[in-house]
Chains A and B, each alone.
Chain A
């Protein structure tokens, strides 16, 4: 049986009177490639923010590999093997591509510059960004920035990666490249949770589909089964 990496139990998150997450249970087990979908405002990004330590839940618990981490700062989550990208790409814009990679690489215990640079260059090669290592990150194209953000996650050698809208606004060629890299990393044993509105891409890669609507999880299962679920069709597609 695969080990459970991240578990959110009864996650509640409110913003004033708006309930963004309403007692959501969400578990990620080793080897998962989960597609997290839902209409705008359904609470997907809020859930990711809570599960990665960027938001404190008003209720419920977050456990990473069985340890309670709710309320701890995000770098504790990162150290525990939880990496994430952001809905709007958040790079270290005035730093070079290589420096962007080195930041997470050097936060790892017992890391050295040489070892971090070697790993960074390996991942940049894998992501087709090696020739740009000296360029300021803000000068990359949108798709390249998404790839770099993925690379920065990989430098943490994470157990699980939460990707928030990785395909949004990305050129189709780079989107295919991104999908290819995610699938390759998944085959190598990485665990992913991918949030996106691009249904075609999500269905292409997901092994498990979770659907949210109005702050609650309304379906969780095999993509083929979830797609025909009447609740999902009603809530998500408005049918």
Chain B
């Protein structure tokens, strides 16, 4: 990323922060939730996109982070930032352990293993209602108890997303990032090249789970109640859809996917609420379709978007726009790679 890109991103961020209070409370909430999913999508991309570890337990780690943080507050009365940090550490430790247990697994085996783990976490939280309040949900302490608007939460979510992206960006551009991509491409060849494959796989699980724990901790202290469904398969599927639609080989496109899906889902809900029935005219064929209970149709519509993405745009819908953005400022001569550039500077970020 060059100066011009950084400048544009900073200017866009500054504008967003400046004009955010123009948003209604509802859309500000949508933006906050989109940023929560943004952290999750980026960290899942770190694991699935960069290392090739298709884990389905990412949302389970978000709920571990959320419950750990709130339970520590409930039991020991510690401040929220410390309890959130403890949640992150807990997720890193459990994530590292899961990474170690499934060292020899990949592809569908890893997906099924992590799905199993995710269900164990969800059922344990649902069952242990003496501790977690079970399906009734655990009431949480707000991060800003005196806040009259959602604005402080917006700024916090924004800061957490920005810091997470910077940290993950630094990681993927470092030599560790190169090793993680090598592991994704060919574990055997990476090992023959001197990469400690087991160590890096465990590390990737621990780091990605830590970020999921951070997102979960924030969510717990934003939404006044957390339930076991926070880590269920529906949520995980939503995260996968967000990441795949955005583009799972780059952190910013994954975040873009999270925003795109979250905002579009809410917009479609909005359309559904405004009338319920939608009439779609197919211009080429000249006939119309009546969609009754449009609110119910928004998820199948996303299914179709996902199928089309997988068929026609495997790198995601946001990726072409991101690549176009990254080409800004290139002159014809500059478009040729400079011989002295190091390759990691423009790869995978």
Contact = CB atoms under 8 A, between A and B. Distances in A.
B342 A113 contact: yes
Contacts of B342: 113-114, 117
B343 A104 contact: no
A116 to B, nearest CB: 9
Interface residues of B, number: 23
Contacts of A102: 178, 343-344
A83 B185 contact: no
A98 interface: yes
Contacts of B186: 90-93
Contact of B347 (A78, A93, A99): A99
B195 interface: yes
17 contacts: A53-B191, A54-B191, A75-B194, A75-B195, A75-B196, A86-B189, A91-B186, A91-B189, A92-B186, A94-B185, A95-B181, A99-B347, A103-B178, A106-B179, A107-B195, A113-B175, A156-B194
A171 interface: no
Interface in A72-119: 73-75, 78-79, 83-84, 86, 90-96, 98-99, 102-104, 106-108, 113-114, 117
A78 B178 CA distance: 17
Interface in B173-190: 175, 178-179, 181-182, 185-186, 188-190
A234 B58 CA distance: 60
Interface in A38-78: 52-54, 73-75, 78
B337 interface: yes
Contacts of A96: 343, 347
B188 A90 contact: yes
A104 B193 contact: yes
Given A90-B188, A108-B194, 20 more contacts: A52-B192, A73-B191, A73-B196, A79-B194, A84-B192, A86-B188, A90-B189, A93-B186, A99-B178, A99-B181, A99-B343, A102-B343, A102-B344, A103-B178, A103-B182, A103-B194, A104-B194, A106-B179, A107-B195, A152-B189
A78 B185 contact: no
Contacts of A75: 191, 193-197
B198 interface: yes
Contacts of B188: 54, 74, 86, 90
B184 to A, nearest CB: 8
A115 to B, nearest CB: 11
Interface string B301-328: 0000000000000000000000000000
A155 B182 CA distance: 15
Contacts of A74: 188, 191-192
A139 interface: no
A66 B175 CA distance: 31
B194 to A, nearest CB: 3
Nearest to B196: A75
A134 interface: yes
Contacts of B344: 99, 102, 113
A99 B181 CA distance: 10
A103 to B, nearest CB: 5
Contacts of B185: 91-95
Given A75-B197, A99-B344, A92 B182 contact: yes
A90 B192 CA distance: 10
Nearest to A134: B337
Contacts of A92: 181-182, 185-186, 189-190
Most chain B Cβ neighbours within 10 Å, of A78, A79, A103, A117: A103
Given A73-B198, A90-B188, A92-B186, A103 B179 contact: yes
The 9 closest A-B pairs by CB, nearest first: A107-B194, A92-B185, A78-B194, A104-B193, A74-B191, A90-B189, A106-B175, A103-B182, A103-B193
A119 to B, nearest CB: 13
A111 to B, nearest CB: 8
Nearest to B175: A106
Contacts of A53: 191
B164 to A, nearest CB: 24
Contacts of B190: 92, 103
